[in-house]
Amino acid sequence: MKISDLVAEYIVRRLEECDGSAEIKRNELADMLGCVPSQINYVITSRFTQEQGYIVESRRGGGGYIRITRVCTGRDSAIMHLVNAVGERITAAEARIMLRNMQLGGLLEPYEADLMLSALTEKAFTSASPDIRDAIRASIMKNMLLTAFAAKQ
């Protein structure tokens, strides 16, 4: 498992334990997981964004912290928010992160996330021109999300 996945899972567990809002000391978490603090920053800026349903606040200094709060929305609202967050283009890495967050948030089963991810990888788009891959990927991802969530209703 990649260190970024370990960091994200730790943060999600903390959010669940703390009713959706957790304070994290970046240096302490980096020491605990055996990584550099910049890896913590990377995970937070890529996986815990406002578009993905989180509010991130930080305070610098000796007693500094990073506070991450999960924005509580209804399931349907969260789904439409995610579909809109995909936008007109999405990279394979961004799609993987979004699907992982949806899985960790309970919106997708692991099998569903893995199946969607397999259709959105770079390898799946090798025959498409590089300048249109991200646009095609975004369209496919939106359709898969809408189909998956419609089937659960």
pLDDT digits (tens, 9 = 90+) for 111-148: 999 999 999 999 999 999 999 999 999 999 999 988 88
> Which residue ranges make up each domain of the chain?
3-70, 75-151
Q: What is the pTM of this model?
A: 0.59
Class for the domain spanning 3-70: alpha beta
The predicted pLDDT at position 146 comes to: 87
Strand ranges across the sheet with 54-59: 21-24, 65-70, 54-59
Residues 50-68: tens digit of each pLDDT: 767 788 888 776 667 889 9
- What's the CA dihedral at 122, 46, 103, 95 to 10 degrees? -20
The predicted pLDDT at position 76 comes to: 67
Residues 79-94: tens digit of each pLDDT: 777 888 888 999 999 9
The predicted pLDDT at position 130 comes to: 92
